């Protein structure tokens, strides 16, 4: 049975956001073991790229790129590397709850950039869904901050949000949209490595992970919040567009809250319950609004690439 393109896109967007929300589960133990953000990201991207290379070989995908694709992959690597590095670094200057709240301005940035430069119409459903999602994230994180706020931390998280919005838009608006999701993510990870290595003296300062727990966290960080999240993001953008995909990112803090309650025994408040309901409402608003639109034609290369194999039985 053929699966509707919208269902594929929304499912991918939900998986992308939820898997990215697992980042604190793996990143916090690594930070506590003295692994710096650039070193953590090197492990994350290298392990992730190796996993994707195996997937590409199993699916018999070629590794070739043309000159235009190479150019845009370098741009994507800069966006992805900057977004990841500034986000992980911001935890050293801001409370984690505040970072999660401020980072969620990226859907607004995505919607505004798409409207300003690509003439995407801001529909009532998009605006309503965006407002509900941002209100939900605010309530979800309300009262979680311990007051640790610095100007540099605010700069870092804003830079992270902006570069992630640009990363999402570039997938849709450049020749990279013709690449299979796995191939796009594989090369984006590799292209992001030079930025991390620049902070590690070309790799000389990369520490050896101290124990099995750290290695497990590094693999988990690469598999869930890197490979699964970024591949599903690429699939979602191709099927439902950058704006809808970014608004689904509201599920990231929901995942983080669930992990906090179940793994770290954190208290779950009534205000957070309202926040989750608003986020779920925003998702339903976006889905409802998208159903009223005709499905966009996808490039032949996307259909032939087999991105939807992730959803086949």
Per DSSP, the residues of 21-43 read TTHHHHHHHHHHTT--HHHHHHH
Task: Note the pLDDT of residue 185.
Answer: 95
Site of tokens 């902006």:
162
Lowest mean pLDDT among 1-15, 60-74, 151-165, 296-310: 296-310
Q: Is the pLDDT of residue 86 over 80?
A: yes
Helix (H, G, I), strand (E, B) or coil at 32: helix
* Structure-model confidence comparison of residues 204 and 193, the more confident one: 193
Residue 303 in domain: no
Quote the mean pLDDT of the chain: 83
Query: Residue 259 — pLDDT band, cuts 50, 70, 90?
Result: confident
Query: Residue 268 — pLDDT band, cuts 50, 70, 90?
Result: low
Mean local confidence (pLDDT), 141-155: 66
Residue 238 in domain: yes
Residue 155 in domain: yes
Rounded to an integer, what distance in angstroms lies between the CA atom of residue 287 and that of residue 65? 34
Residue 305 in domain: no
Mean local confidence (pLDDT), 72-78: 96
Query: Residue 66 — pLDDT band, cuts 50, 70, 90?
Result: very high
**Is-contact 225 45, C-beta < 8 A?**
no
The structural domain count of the chain equals: 1
Lowest mean pLDDT among 119-128, 183-192, 198-207, 276-285: 276-285
- Helices (H) then strands (E): counts for the chain: 15, 0
Q: Please give the C-alpha separations between residue 303 and each of 56, 60, 148, 161, 308, in angstroms, as whole numbers.
A: 16, 16, 47, 30, 8
Q: DSSP 3-state helix, strand, coil percentages of the chain (rounded to 5)? A: 75, 0, 25
Residue 313 in domain: no
Task: Note the pLDDT of residue 298.
Answer: 43
Owning domain of residue 34? 5-292
């Amino acid at each position: 049975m053929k699966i509707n393109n919208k269902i594929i896109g929304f499912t991918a967007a939900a998986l992308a956001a939820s898997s990215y929300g697992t980042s604190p589960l793996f990143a916090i133990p690594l930070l506590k073991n003295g692994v710096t953000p650039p070193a953590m990201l090197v492990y994350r991207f290298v392990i992730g790229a190796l996993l994707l290379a195996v997937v590409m070989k199993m699916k018999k995908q070629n590794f070739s790129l043309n000159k235009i694709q190479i150019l845009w992959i370098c741009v994507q690597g800069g966006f992805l590397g900057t977004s990841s590095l500034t986000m992980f670094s911001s935890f050293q200057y801001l409370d984690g709850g505040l970072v999660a709240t401020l980072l969620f301005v990226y859907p607004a940035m995505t919607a505004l950039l798409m409207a300003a430069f690509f003439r995407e119409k801001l529909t009532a459903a998009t605006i309503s869904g965006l407002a509900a999602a941002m209100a939900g994230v605010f309530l979800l994180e309300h009262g979680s901050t311990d007051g640790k706020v610095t100007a540099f931390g605010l700069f870092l998280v804003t830079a992270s949000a902006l570069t992630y919005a640009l990363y999402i838009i570039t997938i849709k608006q450049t020749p990279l949209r013709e690449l299979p999701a796995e191939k796009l993510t594989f090369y984006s990870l590799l292209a992001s490595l030079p930025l991390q290595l620049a902070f590690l003296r070309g790799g000389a300062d990369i520490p050896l992970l101290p124990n099995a727990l750290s290695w497990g966290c590094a693999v988990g960080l690469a598999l869930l919040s890197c490979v699964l999240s970024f591949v599903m993001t690429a699939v979602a953008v191709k099927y439902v567009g950058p704006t809808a995909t970014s608004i689904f990112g509201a599920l990231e803090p929901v995942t983080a809250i669930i992990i906090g309650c179940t793994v770290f025994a954190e208290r779950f408040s009534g205000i957070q319950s309202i926040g989750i309901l608003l986020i779920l409402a925003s998702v339903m608003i976006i889905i409802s609004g998208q159903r009223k639109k005709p499905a966009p034609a996808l490039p032949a290369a996307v259909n032939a690439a087999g991105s939807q194999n992730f959803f086949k039985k």
